[in-house]
Structures are given as C-alpha cells and as structure tokens.
C-alpha cells in the first residue's frame, strides 16, 4: 500500500492515540500537558474563502475542537471571538496566534459561561469588536466521567454540567438573536452521547440530548427569519478534555471501538462547522451532523 493510499484511507488518516502512555490531566486540561498533541489542522487545513469576512463567535475556542474550528474559520476568511476559562489563557493565546497568522482578527473574551452576564459580555464584545455577528458556535462544554454512574454524580457536578452545556447555550443564543440577520448561522456542539449515552457520562449525555432538541426546535422558529440552526455531533475526538475528565482505565483504547478503529482528531471535525456556517449548506437547518468515525447516532 503506497503512502498516498494510506493517507486517503480514513482508518489510517491518523494513528490511534497512544492512550496507554497518556497521563490524566488536571481539569480543565491544557494542550501543552498532553504527551500526544492533537491535530487541529495547523499543517493541513487550507481555506478557500468560504467564510470571507464573516464575524464569528466560538465558545471553548482555546483548544480541541474549538481551536480547530477557529483555525479553519480564520483560514476561510472569518474574524473570530473566542471565549474560554481564564485558566486556559495559554491555550487561548496559541489559538489567537493561529487566527492572526491567517491574516484575520482574533478577539479574546475569558470568563466562565455559567454566569449569565459573562454570556452577555461575549455577545457585546463581538458586536463592539467585529461590528456584528454572522456565526455563533456554542461549543464549550463540561464533562467529568464517574465510573459509578449516577451514584457518583454530585449535585454540584450536575449543576455545573447543566449550566455550562445548556444554560450558557440558551443565554448566548438569546443575547445574540437581536444582532443576527438573514443569512446568519447558529451551530451547536452535540455529541454521539446524545443518543448512545455512556453511564459514566450520564449528566453530560443528558445535556447533549437537550442540545439536539434545542437545535431542532429553534431551527423551526428562526427559519422564516433566514437564520439557520444546526448541530455537529462529534464522536470520540482526541482533545485535552479527554485526559482531563476520564480516569486512566477509561483512556485505554479511547475511540478504538469505532468502525474506523481509532479516535478522531479535532482537524477532522472542523470542516463540518465550516460547511454549516457557509452558504454551501443554505438549505440545511435543524440538522445534526455526525462526525463519529462510524458510530451510529
């Protein structure tokens, strides 16, 4: 098999992460602490102007899928506001560098999106710094695996998960609506957990199911305004969130049970967001686009 053939084979496009040598990270997990770095598309993603001059917001834009989306958006011609936790500043600055290296404007808005006023601040920042909003990507999320399932999920954890994953999406979308005009796009990050929940991630999966319902319902109400609402449902993707929220025994073989036999890389998810943000998907709304390595949604 030639090298070119191997590159085209999706099961070999990226190697399975060496999870056995990866150590758990303190939450929220920084990219620099990972022994095996994710691929965000730094060397491979090439834009073609599909989001030229779009004014975009990406929550959780400091690392993982969020960084890959920010990089792709910038290389497609978009300016980007990223939000993230203050303790993720190092990762955020690397994302800023990638956006600016693409010749686009990067704006940072650190803070905890469990706070309603922080969500309002993100929207206000985009309007003030970019002049408006064309694309809102609700991507930030919290999870913490509990091997004992429901018995191990405290009220504090459940509250944090719901506030980060659902309340923030609700607030951000509501505050953004007055600034969205026809042609705007809202993209929410769901998960394969939405429909195939794992017991250790029960609270997380519950919120992801809610995101799917919110996406489908909001698309019905905003269609006549020319605003599209869609979601991307990633499967097992190799990001700092994984070693920061899963015990080592759960890390072993992460993603290996997918039909493609490996975990995905953030770079492989980002094009789904580009598609849903661009005019190429002009007749697509209320859709949940699975990027799962073949795991059924």
Q: How far does the chain reach from its first CA to its final CA, in angstroms? A: 32
Exposure pattern of 229-249 as b/e (b: 16+ CB <10 Å)? bbbbbbbbbbbbbbbbbbeee
Name every residue whose Cβ is closer than 8 Å to that of residue 110 and which is 6 or more positions away in sequence.
Answer: 83, 84, 85, 86, 88, 89, 92
Q: Answer for the pair 261, 10: CB distance below 8 angstroms, yes or no.
A: no
The model's pTM: 0.95
Residue 1: pLDDT band by 50, 70, 90 thresholds? very low
Name every residue whose Cβ is closer than 8 Å to that of residue 156 and which is 6 or more positions away in sequence.
Answer: none
Report helix, strand or coil for 195: coil
pLDDT digits (tens, 9 = 90+) for 64-112: 999 999 999 999 999 999 999 999 999 999 999 999 999 999 999 999 9
Domains of the chain (ranges; CATH) run 49-286 (3.40.50.720)
pLDDT reported for residue 247: 85
Average of per-residue pLDDT across 183-201:
96
Percent of the chain with pLDDT over 90: 85
Residue 7: pLDDT band by 50, 70, 90 thresholds? low
Average of per-residue pLDDT across 161-185:
98
Give the residue numbers annotated as catalytic, written as ranges. 204
Q: What are phi and psi of 215, to 5 degrees?
A: -60, -50
Residue 106, strand partner residues? 80
Run of H or E including 64: helix 64-75
Name every residue whose Cβ is closer than 8 Å to that of residue 271 and which is 6 or more positions away in sequence.
Answer: 72
pLDDT reported for residue 19: 72
Between CA 233 and CA 289 the distance in angstroms is 6
pLDDT reported for residue 35: 86
């Amino acid at each position: 098999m030639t090298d070119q053939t191997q590159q085209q084979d999706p099961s070999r496009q990226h190697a399975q992460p060496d999870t056995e040598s990866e150590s758990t990270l303190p939450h929220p997990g920084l990219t620099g602490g990972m022994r095996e770095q994710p691929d965000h598309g730094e060397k491979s993603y090439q834009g073609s102007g599909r989001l030229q001059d779009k004014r975009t917001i990406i929550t959780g834009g400091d690392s993982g899928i969020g960084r890959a989306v920010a990089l792709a958006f910038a290389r497609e011609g978009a300016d980007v506001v990223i939000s993230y936790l203050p303790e993720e500043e190092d990762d955020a600055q690397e994302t800023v560098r990638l956006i600016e290296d693409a010749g686009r404007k990067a704006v940072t808005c650190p803070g905890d999106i469990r706070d309603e006023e922080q969500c309002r601040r993100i929207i206000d920042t985009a309007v003030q710094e970019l002049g408006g909003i064309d694309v809102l990507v609700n991507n930030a999320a919290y999870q913490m695996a509990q091997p004992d399932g429901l018995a191990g999920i405290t009220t504090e954890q459940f509250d944090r998960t719901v506030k980060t994953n659902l309340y923030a999406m609700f607030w951000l979308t509501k505050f953004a609506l007055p600034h969205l005009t026809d042609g705007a796009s809202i993209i929410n990050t769901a998960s394969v957990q939405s429909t195939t929940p794992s017991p250790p991630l029960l609270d997380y999966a519950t919120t992801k199911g809610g995101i799917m319902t919110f996406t489908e319902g909001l698309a019905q109400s905003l269609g006549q305004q020319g605003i599209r609402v869609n979601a991307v449902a990633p499967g097992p993707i190799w990001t700092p969130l994984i070693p920061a929220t899963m015990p080592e025994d759960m890390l072993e073989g992460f993603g290996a049970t997918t039909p493609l036999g490996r975990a995905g890389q953030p770079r492989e998810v980002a094009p789904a967001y580009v598609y849903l943000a661009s005019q190429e998907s002009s007749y697509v709304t209320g859709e949940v686009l699975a990027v799962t390595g073949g795991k059924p949604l």
